[in-house]
Chains A and B, each alone.
Chain A
Amino acid sequence: AAGVIQSPRHLIKEKRETATLKCYPIPRHDTVYWYQQGPGQDPQFLISFYEKMQSDKGSIPDRFSAQQFSDYHSELNMSSLELGDSALYFCASSPLGTGGNEQYFGPGTRLTVT
């Protein structure tokens, strides 16, 4: 079965650089969620999109922005990176019409900021 695809899987950046994380949801999933998981922490919700519109926003820094495109893939753009941004970034997607009842997570992108 198709799963959520995230790229890249690993990313190393320096402080103050920018990073772009990509998420390709499962086919026929219209909702995308982004979560950040720090070392030894539980995942924290960042932002979500439904039908290409932002649907909810969590603890996402102003340095980060995201969007969902017409093919439903999503990108998380992170600027002025800080050491504290080092984390696993997960994307999750939900099937059409379920309103997020089932969220399937991708493998994550591990971002290391040095």
Chain B
Amino acid sequence: GEDVEQSLFLSVREGDSSVINCTYTDSSSTYLYWYKQEPGAGLQLLTYIFSNMDMKQDQRLTVLLNKKDKHLSLRIADTQTGDSAIYFCAERNSWGKLQFGAGTQVVVTP
């Protein structure tokens, strides 16, 4: 995902908050997404945000979008061991195609 960049690894203690960051390049992206992938499994749509929004909250998940800096973040509150997975940030082009980042491996330690 050369147009979408993410840090590759994040270690967090159980109960703490996790923050995963992403930068994108296409200023015309209308929607930005976070997907979760567990080992050997498919991609689970966690949440997405429309580009005219700054923030979206959904239970333990908070998405922040800074359109000026083309920066997207996902905050997971009260991180649990079941949150250990790879998290992909993605931007959507006008035809619906998703451009993914390389993914952030989140490891939750007890």
Interface residues, chain A, CB within 8 Å of chain B? 31, 33, 35, 41-45, 48, 50, 55-56, 58, 90, 92, 94, 99-108
Across the A-B interface, how many residue pairs have beta carbons closer than 8 Å? 61
Give min CB distance, A36 to chain B, whole Å: 11
Q: Is the interface of B mostly helix, strand, loop or mixed?
A: strand
Give min CB distance, B42 to chain A, whole Å: 4
> Is the beta-carbon distance between A100 and B100 smaller than 8 angstroms?
no
Give the interface size class of chain B: 20 to 34
Interface residues, chain B, CB within 8 Å of chain A? 1, 31, 33, 35, 41-45, 48, 88, 92-93, 95-103
> Is the beta-carbon distance between B95 and A55 smaller than 8 angstroms?
yes
**8 extra interchain contacts, Cβ-Cβ under 8 A, other than A55-B96, A92-B43, A105-B44?**
A33-B96, A43-B43, A45-B98, A48-B97, A94-B96, A103-B33, A103-B45, A105-B42
